[in-house]
Amino acid sequence: MKPGAGGALTWAAFVMVQWNPNSLDINSPVQYEPMSYTVLARKWRPRTFAEMAGQEHVLRTLINALDSDRLHHGFLFTGTRGVGKTTIARILAKCINCEKGVTSTPCGECSACQEIDAGRFVDLLEVDAASRTKVDDTRELLDNVQYAPTFGRYKVYLIDEVHMLSRHSFNALLKTLEEPPPHVKFLLATTDPQKLPVTVLSRCLQFNLKRLPRDLIIERLQAICKAEDFSYDGEALTLLARGADGSMRDALSLLDQAVAYGDGAVSEADVRKMLGSVERNKVYTLANAVVAGDAKKMLELIAAMSEYAPDFEEVLQEFAILFQRAAIFALTQSAPRDSMEMRDAVKHICAKLSPEEIQLMYQIAILGRRDLPLAPDGRSGFEMVLLRMMAFMPSSAQTPGADSGGSSDAPAAVGKSSRATGRGQQALPATTTGNQRARPARKTSSAVIDTTGSGLDFNDWEGVIKLMGLQGAARQLAANCVVKANDDQHIMLILDEDNRHMLTAQVQSKLAAVMQNHLGDEFTVKIELGKIAAVTPATKQRQAEEARLQSIRDSIFEDPNVKALLETFDAEIQEESIKPIN
């Protein structure tokens, strides 16, 4: 068709050639048909405030302003990509230009609403500031501001990525933005509000759009899949929502890609392949090998995983999620709302590691993601991150089967005791008779007993902590307690109410296990919350550190060389910068 024929019809579209190779006729023209498919992000773009997913804090303000007819002349919508900035702006343009009147619920049937939805409303001027940054472009745009709207009630200027305008362009916009004609509204959108001059920010109502919650994105994807008759599974949509990172538009684009990849079906296996993700079960198996300290198995699993060319940054993200769930479970005993495999993996990690060790593993995982691009290649960088985790793993976790059950003969008992005192602490004398571990006889009393015969003097609780070789959270818990009473099978400790967060079942179990290594498997530890009048070992340590620090500060202030420098340069000492070297 020639341009101009049939009423000057002009159009541009991507076309698809329909050709039958068996009936080729070089004398016949090839038939073209424009493609009619509309991407999901455009097809399911909300057309009213009621259809919007999330952003209630913005919608409530706009709806109340429309219903009470208290409209500002300038609106600024900020937020990351795909969270609804231009969508809200277009809906707002419909609300103020609907033929049925200014309303928060436009009819969607009048010519103004339909033309705005179609993108051809003459009084809605959409401008991409990224491609029109020059001051001449801005002046040309504003030349027609003083003229009344052609068709609608208001002339609306929707300027996207407004932070891309030049300084001179902002200056040209400022006067009009401050005192626009009554028939003009400015709707500005940006992903980087920090680059806007404060003079522009002060002339607009600013609305900060949030990243959309993952559950909300999943719910939206489910509704679209049902409406479009796509078969899907929940885990696949969870992966898409996670990949979208709070952007609904990105989620719909990924869904479009997943539908094309799976030929109309959205399955977890296909989505993982499309995103370069690794099956979670493989991640859990790999995490178990790391926690167990099995380096050989860990490297074998990584080698098998590498055959599928995974995104190792994505795998480290899965590790971070796993340890984050484990950290919550360790402190709250609340199982994650994930798959059964995730819950089992979390419980396994919590049984092997203390809460602070889990925190360390999480920190290594997220820092490893940051450092991964600096590695020679993705696989070697990933291996180093997991090897770093194993290097900081406690010795008990690196010895598979060491704490397992079995015969409790003399060698096993000695091995257990040596492991508890393997950090440079003095081992306690112990004797065994057959399958029973003998304990030194002690007198029973409700008061604290001197048990020097067993190597432990509970009158010196600080010395007991050092002698038992307590580490980590168990040491911190014990150091903040005082001994109330003990006998040959029990000890009662008091922990201050202010430190109740230290008292978790896992940490108390570790403290009891170490004491049982010294005093026998039947020895029990009980900790109560209360008010402590005595000085705890932790308080003594803090007081000693403060005294040492004060001594260091005094010596610096009295040093003649320091005094000379202060006088010569009229300087002063920043006390907070004075710290012990070790």
The full DSSP string for 148-201 is: PPSSSSSEEEEEETGGGS-HHHHHHHHHHHHS--TTEEEEEEES-GGGS-HHHH
523 assigned to some structural domain: no
Q: Tens digit of pLDDT for each residue in 305-327? A: 888 778 888 889 889 999 999 99
532 assigned to some structural domain: no
Same domain, 114 and 149: yes
Same domain, 310 and 344: yes
The span from the CA of 22 to the CA of 17, in Å, is 15
Same domain, 197 and 305: no
pLDDT, mean over the chain: 80
229 assigned to some structural domain: yes
pLDDT, greater one: 566 or 7 = 566
Same domain, 190 and 95: yes
Threshold 0.75, pTM exceeds:
no
What distances in angstroms separate CA 120 from CA 22, 85, 377, 391, 520, one per listed residue? 43, 19, 50, 63, 84
The span from the CA of 286 to the CA of 3, in Å, is 63
Same domain, 53 and 197: yes
185 assigned to some structural domain: yes
User: What are the residues whose beta carbons fall under 8 Å from the beta carbon of 569, sequence distance 6 or more?
Assistant: none
Same domain, 60 and 204: yes
Same domain, 56 and 179: yes
Same domain, 349 and 225: no
Is the model's pLDDT at 419 over the cut of 50? Answer: no
Is the model's pLDDT at 508 over the cut of 60? Answer: yes
pLDDT at 379: 92
Domain at 325, CATH number? 1.20.272.10
Structural domain of residue 105, as residue ranges? 42-208
Same domain, 244 and 192: no
153 assigned to some structural domain: yes
What distances in angstroms separate CA 285 from CA 278, 279, 344, 372, one per listed residue? 12, 10, 11, 22
Is the model's pLDDT at 382 over the cut of 90? Answer: yes
pLDDT at 221: 94
The span from the CA of 294 to the CA of 390, in Å, is 9
Give strand pairing partners of 436.
433
The residue among 391, 418, 441 that closes a domain is 391
What is the pLDDT confidence band of residue 34, given thresholds at 50, 70 and 90? low
Query: Cα torsion at 355, 356, 357, 361 (round to 10°)?
Result: 100
| Total of domains in the chain | 5
Tokens of 190: 């940006």
342 assigned to some structural domain: yes
Same domain, 74 and 135: yes
Q: Angle, to 10 degrees, between the axis of helix 472-479 and the axis of helix 505-519?
A: 90
Same domain, 195 and 50: yes
The residue among 171, 191, 208 that closes a domain is 208
Same domain, 252 and 363: no
The span from the CA of 123 to the CA of 93, in Å, is 9
What distances in angstroms separate CA 252 from CA 117, 248, 498, one per listed residue? 19, 6, 49
Contacts 24+ apart (CB under 8 A), 378-382: 378/311, 378/312, 378/313, 379/302, 379/306, 379/312, 381/312, 382/302, 382/312, 382/315, 382/316
477 assigned to some structural domain: no
